[in-house]
Amino acid sequence: MKQIKLINAISEAIIPLLGIFFFDWGLYFILLFYFIDLIATEVFIYLKVQKIVQFQKIKFPFSTRFGRLIINSVLALILIILSHLTVYFIVPNIDFASAFIEFLSYEEAGIPIPQGYILLPLVVLTNFQQYKTTFIQSGVYRVTSWKDLIFSRRKALYIAILGAVIAMLIASFIAMPESIYVMLIVAVKIWVDLK
């Protein structure tokens, strides 16, 4: 289980690091990749909680479970908004709409298909594979508390929000290369994924 987590964390770290150092991707470009993964992860948290509740035959008000999940979704939205503000502090002349379109229409040499058509299904497939291998096949859903799952995810969202606030404060006073921010994001994400 720990080996699978480590392999997943490292494989998710490779793409942003290759992007910043070899493909000339910017910070916002890499954050968009993380936003897609964040949204997919939130969807699969809903599926995991549903699987736990069904298997363990837990009966409680619908609003209790989904109320807690909605709080996590709101935190994810806050993280995305704060990240945009932070990027604005780091790259003041950024045009978010143009950068988003560039991200979706980006074509890598030798692959004549815009990455938006490849990346979105790939992120969903990766999350689905993680769901199947680390949650279903391993039987984690049989013994995991749905509350623990929600609150561990919430803790990760709090850490990410704190990171965005700290990065915004740093960017307000010190100019640092975008690659430093990317390396910090990758390091914290690996640490959170392994917890």
Per-domain residue ranges of the chain: 2-194
Q: HSE-up of 177 (CA within 13 Å, CB side)? A: 7
- List pLDDT tens digits, range 24-79: 888 999 999 899 989 999 999 989 988 888 888 877 655 666 777 889 999 999 99
Question: Do residues 113 and 107 make contact, with C-beta atoms less than 8 angstroms apart?
Answer: yes
Burial (Cβ within 10 Å: 0-12, 13-18, ≥19) of residue 85: middle
The CA distance from 121 to 191, in Å, is 26
Query: Low-confidence residues of the chain, pLDDT below 50?
Result: none
